[in-house]
Structure formats: C-alpha cells, structure tokens
Amino acid sequence: MKHIGIIGAGTMGSGISQVSALHGFHVTLVDLEEQILHQGINSIQNGLKRQVKKEKISQELMRSTLDRISTSTSLNSLSNADLVIEAASEHKETKMNLFQALDSICPKTSILASNTSSISISNIASATNRPELVIGMHFMNPVPVMKLVEIIRGNQTSDETTETVNSLSKKLDKIPVECNDSPGFISNRILMPMINEAIFCLSEDIAKTAAIDKIMTIGMSHPMGPLTLADLIGLDVCLSIIQVLHNDFGGDKYRPCPLLKKMVTEGKLGRKTGQGFYSY
Ligand SMILES: NC(=O)c1ccc[n+]([C@@H]2O[C@H](COP(=O)([O-])OP(=O)(O)OC[C@H]3O[C@@H](n4cnc5c(N)ncnc54)[C@H](O)[C@@H]3O)[C@@H](O)[C@H]2O)c1
C-alpha cells in the first residue's frame, strides 16, 4: 500500500493526511473547494511545525511529509488509490454518494474506509459493489495525538480487509481496536449521551460551564470536561452523531438537547468557529 486518498480537508481529514504522509504514504487530499484545501494544508503545516519545535521530528521530515501530500477538488484524482479514507461531513447522503462514486473511480481491489462517527458501515457499503472491501476506520481527534483507531466491521467486511486496515493503523503508530457495526459503534454510543447530558445540565442551570467540566475532570479523572470536548469535536458533529443515535435506537435516551441544536443553528460550533461553550 503506497497511495492513500483522503476525502475531506476539515479537522479529521487534515489530521489523517498529516499522520499518513508522516509515515511515508503518498496522500491525495480531496475537498470541495481550493480554499478549504488551502486551510487544510495550513493546519497540517502548523501541526508539523509544532512537532519540529518539540523536537519530535526533523525539519527535513516535515518537508518530505508535506511533499508527499497533493490536493484536488476532483474525486477522479483517486483513480489509483490503494485505500481511500473518507472524512467528509457526517451526513449519510453525502457519504452514500461519495462511496457510490468511489466504487466506480477506484481500482476494484482498493479498500474504501469511512471515518464516520456513527453512520452504519453496512449501509455505506451498500452504496458499492464491493461491501467486503468497505470498513470503518474511526480515528480520534486530534489525530496526530490520539492513539486509538476504532475499526468497524460491516456485515460483509472480509477478514482480509480487516487485517490490512489493522496493520495499516499500526504502521501509522496507532492502536486499532475492533468492534461490530452498530449506531455510534462503542466510542460515540457511550461518549455522546454523556456530552448531551452535560449540555442539558447547562441549559437547566444546574451548574455553569466551567463547573460542569471541573466536576468531570477532577471528580472522574477525565482528561478534559464534556463541554470542552464538545467544542473540540465540533458541535455540528456532536449534533449529527446524537441525531443518528436518536433516529436509529429511538426513545428519549438520545434526544438531542435543544441548547445544542440552538448553538449549531447560530453557527457556534466550538473551536473551529471560535465560539462554542467557550470562546477561542
Ligand atoms: N471532529 C471530530 O472530533 C471527529 C472525530 C472522529 C470522527 N469524526 C468524523 O470525521 C468526519 C469529518 O469530521 P470533521 O470534524 O473533520 O468535519 P469538518 O466539518 O471539519 O470537515 C468535513 C470536510 O468535508 C468536506 N466535504 C463535505 N462534503 C464533501 C464531498 N462531497 N466531497 C469532498 N469533501 C466534502 C467539507 O468541505 C469539510 O471540509 C465526520 O464523519 C465525523 O463524524 C469527527
């Protein structure tokens, strides 16, 4: 495996590109507009610069890493990708359309992976004629720092595909852990109800933002509080995930907090827009 295609130059796609290129893979990063790609490359550059400053990588490795990344606004640039990791926005229709297109563009043997946080891998695979080669590769944010890759097997994902993706994750210096396909998988099925509940606590004025976070960091030894984490993930991404859980499981347990919906409507998406539960 030499050439990895990555779709989406946002928070996750740029992080996955950075880590893949750093470990020697040639990356083609695809997004809808040049401007977004430009921002993605900037954020990769800044991430690598921080690593140089901390003396984790050399200036030379930073340069060669950047040289291994090319960008494009056309999916056709992925026509010889050995593996594609889709990290586009968390909308089922967007992902279904992308996988249908990738199936006709990429070589018949290429693995098509999705970084989705919650959408069924078996559903995404049904948009293709190669469900055995479709798998979930759920990286954590920030990708260059976080070790886990949650590997999600769809109904028809083959053992060979799973092995290849496990071994690739290790080459990227990550730790793959497998689970079966189910809404939100393991990570977000457990994490998102906690974040949503923290937002309910805030909206019911049970405690202020900082107090809610402190109770969870000091009291539960979480490295960051749920509201800080929501800002890091992106409130739009959190809302999409909790909506998938609500739609797929039903019941009140996963009902999105109205305050979360309101903040997303107002464009307060967290760190990426400069305003969420905190200001940046
Ligand atoms: N943010 C997180 O903490 C996090 C963590 C793990 C997984 N994820 C998942 O990763 C994926 C991306 O999330 P993100 O936070 O990077 O979102 P983001 O909004 O930062 O970036 C998404 C990018 O996808 C692009 N895009 C949308 N439609 C596209 C298309 N048809 N073709 C090409 N590009 C397209 C957008 O222009 C945008 O740049 C989502 O599925 C999300 O659930 C996010």
Q: 53-71 pLDDT, tens per residue?
A: 999 999 999 999 999 999 9
Per-residue pLDDT tens for 113-122?
Answer: 999 999 999 9
CA dihedral for 263, 269, 274, 279, sign (positive or negative):
positive
| Gap between the Cα atoms of 199 and 210, Å rounded | 12
Average pLDDT, the chain: 97
Task: Output the pTM of the full model.
Answer: 0.94
pLDDT band at 251 (very low <50, low <70, confident <90, very high): confident
Common-topology check for domains 3-180 and 189-271: no
Q: What is the pLDDT of residue 73?
A: 98
Q: Indicate if the pLDDT at residue 112 is higher than 90.
A: yes
pLDDT at 178 (0 to 100): 98
For 124, the token pair is: 């995404």
Q: Which amino acid is at 66?
A: L
Give me the residues paired with residue 150 across strands: 138, 177
**CA–CA separation, 161 and 153 (whole Å):** 9
CATH number of the domain located at residue range(s) 189-271 in this protein: 1.10.1040.10
Distance 215 CA to ligand 1 centre (A): 30
Q: What is the DSSP letter of 51?
A: H
Of 110, 115, 117, 120, the catalytic one is 117
Helix (H) or strand (E) holding 168: helix 159-171
pLDDT surpassing 90 at residue 185: yes
pLDDT the model gives residue 164:
98
Tell which residue, 116, 107, 109, has the closest CA to residue 7: 116
Instruction: Say if CB 22 and CB 65 are below 8 A apart.
Output: yes
Contacts of 227 (CB under 8 A, 6+ apart): 195, 198, 199, 202, 209, 212, 213, 276, 277, 278
Q: Categorize the per-residue pLDDT at 88 as very low, low, confident or very high, splitting at 50, 70 and 90.
A: very high
Identify the residue whose C-alpha is closest to ligand 1 atom 26: 88
Average pLDDT on 12-17 reads: 98
Domain coordinates in residue numbering, the chain: 3-180, 189-271
Question: Which of 6, 12, 85 for mutating ligand 1's site (highest number of atoms within 8 Å of CB)?
Answer: 12
Closest ligand 1 atom number to CA of residue 13: 16
Q: Tokens for 253, please give them.
A: 């347990």
Q: Is 138 a catalytic residue?
A: yes
- Domain 3-180 sits in CATH 3.40.50.720: yes
pLDDT at 209 over 90: yes
